[in-house]
Amino acid sequence: MNEITVVEKRKLNNAPKAIIYFFIYSFIGWLLEVIYAMYVERRFVNRGFLFGPICPIYGFGALILIASLGKVKGNRFLKFFVAVISFSVFEYIVSYVLEVMFNQRWWDYSNDILNLNGRISLLYSLLWGVLGILFTEKIHPMIRGQVEKISLLIPKVIQICIICALVAGFIIDEVFSILGYL
């Protein structure tokens, strides 16, 4: 079997890759939140909605950026603007839905100037814009390259099994987390 055939047999299509990116960025987001909380509160705080070590808002946010900014090349102002708008709308919707569902707020920007119902604020929206540029130009290309390298080492069937296990674990965590908040 030639080398191209082996490589093609190990390549995943876009949906499984998106799931992998979701889990990677959800974990990185959780890690950043925990580090920040440890710095502020001087103790471990499991940040986020789930019991496990992921914050899905970061995973979904990353997928939104990949989809909305993936084709924008070179125009940093446009990337910034799209990231500010898409992340702010997403953050507002998630905050609202979580509050309606669980009568609890996971973040509150009420003390920040130029906030909208405490769900989003100008400061964080601008930060999301900067992070959107950094993410699409530096972070995601690096992660994508590493995922591609690792995926070439692992047979496709094992990759799919790993993805299925991650999704199953995520669903179980969702169910138990939701039950814990009700």
Q: How many domains does the chain have?
A: 1
Could you give the percent of the chain with pLDDT greater than 70? 94
The stretch 62-87 carries a mean pLDDT of 88
Residue 123 lies in a domain: yes
Dihedral sign, Cα of residue 151, residue 153, residue 158, residue 162: negative
Instruction: Examine the pLDDT at 2 and tell me if it is beyond 60.
Output: no
Is residue 9 in a domain?
no
Q: Is residue 182 part of a domain?
A: no
Average pLDDT over residues 42-68: 88
Q: State the average pLDDT over residues 97-115.
A: 88
What pLDDT shows up at residue 8?
57
- Identify the domain containing residue 66 by its residue range: 14-172
Residue 95's pLDDT band (cuts 50, 70, 90) = very high
- Residue 179 in any domain: the answer is no
Ranges assigned E (strand) in 32-138: 115-116, 120-121
Q: Residue 8 falls within a domain, yes or no?
A: no
Q: Is residue 61 part of a domain?
A: yes
Asked, for residue 7, whether it belongs to a domain, the answer is no
Q: Whole-angstrom Cα distance, residue 98 to residue 30?
A: 17
Residue 118 lies in a domain: yes
Contacts of 63 by beta carbon, 8 Å cutoff, 6+ apart: 18, 21, 22, 25
How far apart, in Å, do the first and last CA atoms of the chain sit? Answer: 55
Over residues 115-131, the mean pLDDT reads 93
